Amino acid sequence: MKKVLIVDDETRLLQSIEAGLKSYLNEFNVVTAKNGKEAVHFLERENINLVVTDLRMPEMDGFELLAQLTSVHPFMPTIVMTAFATPEIEDRLNASGTLKLLEKPIDIEKLAHAICEGLRQSSNEGALAGFSLANFLQLLEMEKRTCLLNIQDGNIHGHIYLNKGEVYAAVAEGLKGEDAVYRLLSSDHVNITFQKLPKRKIQQTIKIPLMSLLIEAMRRKDEKMSESSSPVKNQERDAEKGESINENVTEQQPPETVDIPSTTKEKQLATTQEINVGEDKMGNVEDTLGRLAEIEGFMAVGIFTPNGEMAAQVNKSNLKLVEIGSLANDVLLKAQKATDIMNVGRGQIVHIDAPKAHVIARCYNENEDFSQSKAGKVHIHIVLLLSKDGNLAMGKMKLESVIRDAAVEFR
């Protein structure tokens, strides 16, 4: 019989959950712990198949327990209970398939469904049951934690410092700042431990949001996998192997200081040609987007992948379009999911009438199944921003022709 460990410092909640799950005794047994410390003892002496934990607890909180799981039980299916989740973070974590987030007060039926799903995942999908550094960082962001993480996996070793939930600084393998975060996120399974915060002030080296870091890390990882499968790329790397090894070997400062060492490599800038658009075509795409700049009140426009990665932009207002586009993309995806549930067809455009601007997000997908991307079929999102007194009607009308013309360059 499979065994589920429920961890929470609220005795009444534990009793309520235990009573509510009695009807599932033919599928799993329940044991309870009042904090992370008790939970660790259970994990040491009993065969636990799934952990459900709160985050805010005395003695050892849920974060420390999750960090312990990464090293001792890296593939343990995990469900986190919290009263502080936002819909955006909840959707992102639950969509990953590796860690589930449930909002308090707990719905027993939802919890039971999540437990059964997690136990099936553990049996059928092996490593997919574990949770990632990306998941962990999103939880810390949600709880606005200030902490210093020690992260290790084989030859990878580094640190990430968070200030009130924001990724503030990082160091790894001679890299610092954003590049260090990307290096640490490149590993599928890491061991995470908390270190005591240093007394000295840590210099901020990262100034972009966590979601942007995660998107770029995913892009780099996919790019690396694509390159490793190319014989030509392999030959080029072999020819430069000796030089690159010499360039990358640097000595890292002791963990306690969290100093950011000087990197021996130039920072690699993220490119915008991420949807297989060559440099010769990128100018055409930007020219096409430029037609929208003629609209009265135009502020900015960008083309994004369905995952929220920017491919091209025209930005006359110096807006943080990467961040705005990512958020608008989330709103569009949620709206599409909602219209699917309504059985009215998949929505293709969202208009946000904000106090300072109009934000219009439009999906263009040539696949017959509008909920899926397909090789050889263009699937892009475009986000247009107009001032409040801008010509909204003209903006929507022009957007329809521009997105179709821009799609031609992505085929």
Q: What is the DSSP secondary-structure string of 211-244?
A: HHHHHHHHHHHHHHHHHHT-HHHHHHHHHTHHHH
Residues 6+ apart with CB under 8 A from 141: 89, 162, 165, 166, 167, 210
Pairing of strands 298-304, 310-315: antiparallel
Q: What is the pLDDT of residues 222-231, one digit of tens each?
A: 777 766 655 5
Report whether 158 contacts 263 (CB < 8 A). Answer: no
- In angstroms, the Cα distances linking 211 to 114, 216, 291 are 25, 9, 30
Structure confidence at residue 153 as a pLDDT band (50, 70, 90): confident
Calculate the alpha carbon distances from 151 to 67, 136, 193 in Å: 10, 11, 7
Q: How far apart are CA 388 and CA 391, in angstroms?
A: 9
Contacts of 254 (CB under 8 A, 6+ apart): none
SS3 per residue for 147-176: EEEEEEECCEEEEEEEECCEEEEEEECCEE
Is 279-408 a CATH 3.40.630.30 domain? no
Give 326's Cβ-side CA count (13 Å radius). 16
Mean pLDDT computed over every residue of the chain: 79
Compute the average pLDDT of residues 100-123.
85
pLDDT of residue 162: 95
pLDDT, greater one: 62 or 280: 62
Higher pLDDT, 126 or 280: 280
Q: Confirm whether pTM is higher than 0.85.
A: no
Region 113-125: mean pLDDT is: 76
CATH for 2-131, among 3.40.50.1820, 3.40.50.2300, 3.50.40.10, 3.90.1150.10?
3.40.50.2300
Q: Is pLDDT above 50 for 277?
A: no
Does residue 119 contact residue 77 with C-beta atoms inside 8 Å? yes
Asked if residue 13 lies in contact with residue 106, where contact means CB atoms within 8 angstroms, the answer is: yes
pLDDT at position 34 over 80: yes
Q: In what order do the strands lie in the sheet with 298-304?
A: 310-315, 298-304, 379-387, 357-365, 349-353
Closest of 282, 286, 285, 260 to residue 273, by C-alpha: 282
Lowest mean pLDDT among 262-271, 315-324, 394-403: 262-271
Compute CA 158 distance to the chain's CA centroid, rounded to the nearest angstrom.
19
- What pLDDT score does 157 carry? 92
CA 333 to chain CA mean position, Å = 15
Tens-place pLDDT, residues 212-259: 898 888 888 777 776 665 555 455 555 544 443 344 433 334 334 444
Summarize the confidence of residues 83-98 as an average pLDDT: 59
Domain boundaries, the chain: 2-131, 144-248, 279-408
pLDDT at position 30 is 95
85 or 180: which leads in pLDDT: 180
First to last CA, the chain: 53
Banded pLDDT at 358 (limits 50, 70, 90):
very high
* pLDDT more than 70, % of the chain: 77
Least confident of 186-200, 333-347, 386-400: 333-347
Q: How far apart are CA 81 and CA 336, in angstroms?
A: 27
- H or E, element range at 62: helix 62-72
d(Cα 406, Cα 203) in Å, to the nearest integer?
42
User: Does the pLDDT at position 99 exceed 90?
Assistant: no
